[in-house]
Amino acid sequence: MRHPILFVLLCLAAGGSVGCKGDGSMSSQGVGGGVWGDLSGVRVQRFTLRNGNGMEVDLCDYGAMVTSVRVPDRNGGSVDVVLGFDSIGEYPEKSQYFGCTVGRVGNRIAGGSFELDGQSYSLAINNGPNHLHGGERGFDKYVWNATELLTSRGPGVRFSRSSPAGEEGYPGTLEAEAVYVLTENDELVIEMSATTDARTPCNIVHHTYWNLGGHGSGTVLDETLIIDADRYTPVDATLLPTGELALVDGTPLDFRAGKSIGSDFGAFPANGDDPGGFDHNLCLNGEVGTVREVARLSDSKTGIVMTISTDQPGIQFYTGNFLNGMMGKGGAIYEQNGGLCLETQAFPDSINHRGEAGWSDVVLRPGTDYRHVMVHRFSID
């Protein structure tokens, strides 16, 4: 189930720190970790990955999540481009899936129900009439097992958890992993994988909120985005796909040539409970199962550029519409649209569109591996 490239020279350590000097400080490359706090008596650890170019990534075993990514900017400074909180205690209360690993199935499932092998399954309903992001207590709300790694590509952490059959209504025990590696090419590589002992839908998603101007620097509306997608999945009032795979031509969702996020933002105004803004799945061009570059985000103030490559069929582009001015790291205020998510994934509600043209099969079977690769590459324009 592990990817050969990531694990070639794998694992100097399980448990101890790799890349730490004798005095406990970090060497220029490596991973260091320690206890961050506890949640209801369960110990929570945090880890820092560091490469030789001054890039650093903080990870946490609660939710197998990213809490910070510090990247050099064009002025020689370092900018934290990820929304998060200073203390672990704030996450269960305030986080809107900040930085976490979402599962067993990310995004929405209509009415929380689906059929598999002639049997009906009912999942937890936690978003209007639908199931969202794995249910009431999805993968983001557990402390995962963590192992520090030193791979051929750079330092990393492997998170794993066993999701028992029946959890949130899903069939089969799922053994899930999320592996993070920071490379000398300034890539944050995320690889999600899973196996099961019974047929189950599986679509594990990464949910970091990015702001390349720096977390807390205001909205992301002036950032420039390219998404390589000719089609998207139109949705109903509860954000469920209608089943159509519509062309982006002539719509606000045409990001193929690149444009500022704010330029067509007015096309999705607030309406009742809907706060407005982008919250759409785009159908990525290129071959599913092949890692290819699918998105590019840039900020003109810091000069920071992030590209995303993935093997997945879709990407949820979400502009932090539900952010509500909560206080984040260092007293920063996360106002509405103060961060955006680019969640590579299988299309939302795929389990109820099986066999339809253009939709992928999200059923994981015993003896097969689920695999999802995401590469975030940072550079300066």
Listed in order, strand segments (DSSP E) in 40-102 are: 42-50, 56-60, 65-72, 78-80, 101-102
- The CA distance from 171 to 366, in Å, is 12
Catalytic residue among 131, 133, 206, 207, which? Answer: 207
Asked if 350 interacts with ligand GLA (CB under 6 A), we say no
CA distances from 187 to 17, 215, 300 (A): 21, 19, 20
Residue 207: active-site member: yes
Residue 177: active-site member: no
Between 27 and 324, whose beta carbon lies closer to ligand GLA?
324
Between 105 and 149, whose beta carbon lies closer to ligand GLA?
105
Asked if 341 interacts with ligand GLA (CB under 6 A), we say yes
Rounded least distance, CB 132 to ligand GLA, Å: 6
> What tokens does 210 get?
């990015």
Between 146 and 261, whose beta carbon lies closer to ligand GLA?
261
Catalytic residue among 131, 191, 343, 372, which? Answer: 343
Rounded least distance, CB 50 to ligand GLA, Å: 29
Rounded least distance, CB 72 to ligand GLA, Å: 28
Between 239 and 245, whose beta carbon lies closer to ligand GLA?
239
Rounded least distance, CB 348 to ligand GLA, Å: 8
Strands ordered across the beta sheet of 145-150: 145-150, 155-163, 174-182, 187-196, 370-380, 304-310, 292-298, 224-227, 259-260
- The CA distance from 130 to 142, in Å, is 22
Rounded least distance, CB 237 to ligand GLA, Å: 13
Listed in order, strand segments (DSSP E) in 290-369 are: 292-298, 304-310, 314-318, 326-327, 333-334, 341-345, 363-364
Residue carrying structure tokens 């995401």:
374
Contacts of 118 (CB under 8 A, 6+ apart): none
By Cβ distance, which residue is nearest to ligand GLA?
Answer: 318
Asked if 316 interacts with ligand GLA (CB under 6 A), we say yes
Q: List the one residue from 114, 142, 232, 318 that touches ligand GLA (CB under 6 A).
A: 318
User: Per-residue x/- mask for ligand GLA, residues 241 to 280, rule CB under 6 A?
Assistant: --------------------------------------x-
Element (H, E) at 91: helix 90-94
Q: List the one residue from 96, 196, 337, 352 that touches ligand GLA (CB under 6 A).
A: 96
For 158: left if phi > 0, alpha if psi spans -120 to 50, otherwise beta; the answer is: beta
Distance in Å from the first CA to the final CA of the chain: 36
Active site residues: 207, 343
Question: Under the rule (CB under 6 A), what is the footprint of ligand GLA?
Answer: 96-97, 107, 132, 239, 279, 316, 318, 322, 341, 343
